[in-house]
Amino acid sequence: MSVILSYQWGSATPEFRSDAPNIIFFGILVAAIIYFATRFTRGGPFLRQRFCTACGRGIPFDALICPYCGFRFSS
Ligand SMILES: [Zn+2]
């Protein structure tokens, strides 16, 4: 809170800075970016899935047979 609150000399109590809402909003934005970055880099759905070439649905990355349409992958 020492970053957000700034003591003004002459006033009895610390006051919120005028840009305090911007700092809070920026902090929430950074936290959200870090949250989504760690979520998608640690084996997120986009990394653990690929799309079936036959039906186009998302399937496990190491699946040999599509669980939806039964298409058998050669590799
Ligand atoms: Zn399929």
pTM: 0.37
Per the listing, tokens 């002459």 go with: 10
Give the list of residues 6+ apart from residue 72 with CB closer than 8 angstroms, or none: 64, 65, 66
Mean predicted confidence (pLDDT) in 7-32? 76
52 and 33 in a single domain? The answer is no
Determine the Cα–Cα distance for residues 59 and 54; give it in Å rounded to an integer: 11
Could you tell me if residue 43 is left (phi over 0), alpha (psi between -120 and 50 degrees) or otherwise beta?
left
53 and 69 in a single domain? The answer is yes
Around ion ligand 1, residues with a beta carbon closer than 5 Å are: 52, 54-55, 66, 68-69, 71
Predicted pLDDT of residue 23: 87
Q: Residue 36 pLDDT > 60, yes or no?
A: yes
Distance 47 CA to ligand 1 centre (A): 18
Q: Residue 26 pLDDT > 60, yes or no?
A: yes
Decide if 64 contacts 73 (C-beta within 8 A).
yes
32 and 55 in a single domain? The answer is no
2 and 33 in a single domain? The answer is yes
| Average pLDDT taken over every residue of the chain | 78
More confident residue, 10 or 46: 10
**How many domains in the chain?**
2
